[in-house]
Structure 1
Amino acid sequence: MTLLNLGIYSGWFGPIQVLLAEQAATISPDRKEAVLSLVLGVGAAVSTICNPVFGAFSDRTTLRRGRRLPWVLAGAAGSALSLLVLAAAESVTVMLLGWCAAQVFLNAMYAAAMAAIPDQVPVARRGLIGGLVAIAQTIGIVAGVAIAGLTGSIATGYLATLVVLLLLTLPYALGSRDLALPADHRPPPFAIGSFVRSFWISPREHPDFAWAWITRFLVNLGNYVATLYLLFYVIDGLGVSEDDAPGRVLVLTALYAVATIVTTAVFGHWSDRLGRRKVFVIWSGVVSGVASLILAVGQTWPAAVVAAIVLGCAFGIYTAVDFALITQVLPRAEERAKDLGVINIANALPQVLAPVLAGAILVVVREAGGSVATRGDGWSLGYGTVYLVSFAASVLGSVLVTRIRSVA
C-alpha cells in the first residue's frame, strides 16, 4: 500500500508541479498561465467525477481476488497509456486530452487503494496507518518532481514517470490482501437511477460528514492556491531564471516533504493514543495559513524556504489525522469507497477552482496595472493577493472543524 501510493502520487505530481507547466510554456509561451489553468482545471473536473464513481464501482465488484485490486491494475495500465500520450503531445488539445485520461485512470487506482485502509485497519490504528500512507504520498510528490525536473526533457520525464508508476504498483498487485465482498453483502442489481442518487449524502442526516467535507475543501483550496502556480511564482515573483526554476521548485518540494514526513506518522500515532482528532486538524489548518502568509508578505527565496518547511509540518499533521477523522464519519461501511470518493471531491474540486481563482487574480491585477511578474525586483501584488486568499481559505477551514460533533 505504501509503495502503491508513492507511485500514484509520483504519477500525479510530476506532471502537476513541473511537466505540465513546462509543456504549457513550450507550446504557448505567451499564454502559458492560461494554458496551464485550462489543463489543470479541466483535468481536476474529470477527477472530481471519476473518484467517487470508481469508488462506487469498486464497492460493487464481486471478483474472488477482491473488489479493490482489479481497479488498481486497470488504472495502472490506463495511466501508463495516458502518460505516453502526454509525452508525445505537441498541441494544447492533445495535452488536455492526455491529462484528462491520466486523471481518469489515476483516480480509479486511488479510489480503490484508499478504501482498502478502512476495509482492513481498525479505528484505533488509522492515525498511524494514515500517517504512513501520507508519508508515501509526500515522497511520491518529491519523486515525481525530481523525475520531471532532472530527466532533461518533457517527453523523457513522462516516460520515466510511467516506469516508476508501474514498478511501484507491482508489489501491491502481487502481495495485496484485498478482501472479496462477502456473499451475504452482494449489491442489488445495477440501476442507473439509484446509482446516481447514492452519491447524495444528506447534510441533515449526516451533518458531521458534511462539515468534514467543507473543512477539507477549504484547507485543500488554500493548499492548491499556494502550490499550483509555484513554478511561475519562483520565476516571476522571486526572479529565478527559467533554467534554474525547476531545481528551486525541487528544493522547496523536498523541504516540504521532509517536514511532512517528520510530522505525519508522529502526530498520527499521537492522535491514536489520545483518541482525539479535531485539535490536530484545527491547528494544522492555522499553521498552513501562516505558511501562505509568509509567501504573500516575504516574496524572497529565504521566505519561500521557511514557508515550505512550515507548510510541510502543517500539511503532514493535517493529512494523517484528517484522514483518520473522516473514516470515523463515513455513513455506511458497505459503501466506503464511494463515500470516500465523495469526500475526495473536496480534494479534487479545489484543483478545478484554485488555478481559475489564482489565474483570475493575476489577470485582474495585471489589467489594473498592478505588479505580477516583478522577476524579483520589488513586491508582486498579484502573487501577494493569491497567497492572502490561500491564507484565508486555510484558516476558515480549520475553524469549521469545530462543528464536527461525533469525533473527539
Structure 2
Amino acid sequence: MKADLPTSNQSTRFLLLYALAWAGGSISYVPFLSILLPVRVSAVVPDQSVEWLAHIAFIGAVAASLGNIGFGWLSDRTGNRRTLIVAGVAASSILLVTMPIDGGYYRLLAQIVAWQLSLNLMLAPLSAWAGDCIPHHQKGTLGGLIAFAPAVGALSGAFVTLPGLASGDGRLWLVAVLVPLCVLPAVLFGRPRPFPELMYSDAPEVPLRQAITGLVHSAVGRMWIARLLIQIAEAALFAFLYIWLRTLDDSITDNDTARLFSIVLSGSIPIAFLAGHWSDRTGRPALPLTIGTALSATGLVVMGLAGSIPIAITGYFIFGLASTAFLSLHSAQTLRFLSRPEHRARDLGLFNLTNTVPSMVMPWLTLAMVPIFGFGALFFLLAGLAVVSGALLLSLLRQD
C-alpha cells in the first residue's frame, strides 16, 4: 500500500474547511433519516411505520446509489466539482423544506427519490475533491477529521429536536439552513494547494466491467466488502435504533435517541483522530480498521443480550464508537486504492454502494427477522458480519 508520496502537506485551512463541509453533508441527511422522518411517519401511520420506513429506505437507497455514480461520473467529465456541490446544496435544501411528510405514501416516496438524487449531486463531487487535493500521507489525518461529520450530524438532530425549539416543519428549515453554512465555506474560501501528482496515474486503463469483476480478488475488493458488512449493521441501527429502544422502554423519546446518537458519535472523534494520526506516522492504515471490526462485533453481541436500557446503551456505545471510527478512517484510506484520478468520483460512486446497498438489504432483513426472532437475533447476525469484515482486513495487515 506504500507509494511515492508528495513531500508537502495540504494546508490546515483547507483540511479544516473540508471537514466542515463533510459535516454539512452529514447534517443534510442524518437528522432527517434517523429522527425527523421516523417520528413524523410514526405519528401519521403508527401501525405501518416500520413498513413505510423500510420501503422509503429501500427506494431512497436505489436513488442514492444511481445518483452518486452518475453525478460522480459527471464531475469527472466536467472537472468542475465545486459548481456541482453548490447546485446540490441548493436543490437538496429546497426539496427538504417542501417534503410532503403528511401528504400520502406515494407523494412522499417520489420526493424522497428527488431529494436523494440532489443530495448526491452534492456528495459525489465533494468526496472526490478530497482525492484531488489531499496527499496519501495525510489520509489518516483526513479520516480523523471527517469523523466529526457523523457526530455533527447527530448533534444537529439533537439540536433541531430540542423541545419547544421548532415545529415539525420548522425542524426541516433549521436543517436546510445549517447545511449551506457548513458546506459553502470550503467551496468559496478553501483555496486548496494543488498536487498535480494526485491528478496523474500511469496505471493502465481498465474497462469498467473488468474493474468491477476484478474487485473480488483485489485489495480494493476486500476493502469494499469489509465496509459493506459493517455498513449493513450501521444501517440497521441508523433506521431502527429509536424503535428498538422503545421496545425496551416506551418512555424513550426522539430527543433521547438524538442525544444518544450525538454522545456516541462525538466520542468517536478523538478515537478516529488519534488512530488516523497513528496510521499516518507508522504507515499501517489497515490495523485500526481491523481493530474497529472486532469492537463492532463485541458491541453488537452485548446489544443482542440486552434486556434493559443500561445494557442496551452500553452495547450501542461500544458498537457506535468502533463502527463510526472505522467508517471515517475507511473513507479516507479508500482513496489510496483508487488508481485512476480521471475516474475518481465515478469509482467512489461504486464504493458508495457500500453505503447505499445496506439500506436496500437491511429493511427486508429486519422485516424478515424481527417479527419472528426479535431484535436480539438480528444483532447476533450483524455481529457475525462484523467478524467476517475483520477477517477480510487481516489479509491487508501484511501489506502495511
Q: Distance in 1 between matches of 2:215 and 2:258?
A: 44
1:82 aligned onto 2:95: yes
Which residues in structure 2 correspond to 1:252-401 (within 5 Å)?
Answer: 252-363=260-371, 365=372, 381-401=373-393
Give the superposition deviation at 1:302: 1.0
Aligned residues: percent identity?
24
Matched with 2:242 is 231
1:8 to 18, 22, 25: 25
Which residues in structure 2 correspond to 1:183-198 (within 5 Å)?
Answer: 197=208
Give the stretch that moved more between structures: 170-179 or 273-282. Answer: 170-179
TM-score (norm 1): 0.85
1:143 aligned onto 2:130: no
Counterparts in 2 of 1:94 and 1:60: CA distance versus 1, 3 Å = same
Counterparts in 2 of 1:263 and 1:172: CA distance versus 1, 3 Å = same
1:173 aligned onto 2:183: no
Unaligned runs of 5+ in 2: 1-17
- Contact 1:226 1:292 survives alignment (8 Å): no
- Contact 2:303 2:316 survives alignment (8 Å): no
- Contact 1:52 1:111 survives alignment (8 Å): yes
Matched with 1:33 is 50
Q: Distance in 1 between matches of 2:101 and 2:54?
A: 20
Runs of 4+ with deviation above 6 angstroms: 178-182
Matched with 2:176 is 162
Q: Distance in 2 between matches of 1:45 and 1:398?
A: 27
Aligned to 1:177, the other structure's residue is in SS state coil
Q: Distance in 2 between matches of 1:350 and 1:53?
A: 19
RMSD of aligned Cα (Å): 2.6
Matched with 2:107 is 94
Q: Deviations over 1:105-126 (max 9, x none)?
A: 1112111111111211111111
| Count of residue pairs the alignment pairs up | 376
Give the superposition deviation at 1:128: 0.4
Counterparts in 2 of 1:407 and 1:27: CA distance versus 1, 3 Å = farther
Q: Distance in 2 between matches of 1:407 and 1:216?
A: 18
Matched with 1:103 is 116
Matched with 2:145 is 132
TM-score (norm 2): 0.87
Aligned to 2:337, the other structure's residue is in SS state coil
- Contact 2:305 2:376 survives alignment (8 Å): yes
- Contact 1:331 1:339 survives alignment (8 Å): no
Q: Distance in 2 between matches of 1:205 and 1:267?
A: 27
- Contact 1:362 1:382 survives alignment (8 Å): yes
Q: Distance in 2 between matches of 1:137 and 1:158?
A: 18
Give the superposition deviation at 1:52: 1.6
- Contact 1:69 1:173 survives alignment (8 Å): yes
Q: Deviations over 1:282-315 (max 9, x none)?
A: 1101101111111110132111321232123312
Give the letter for the 2:291 counterpart: W
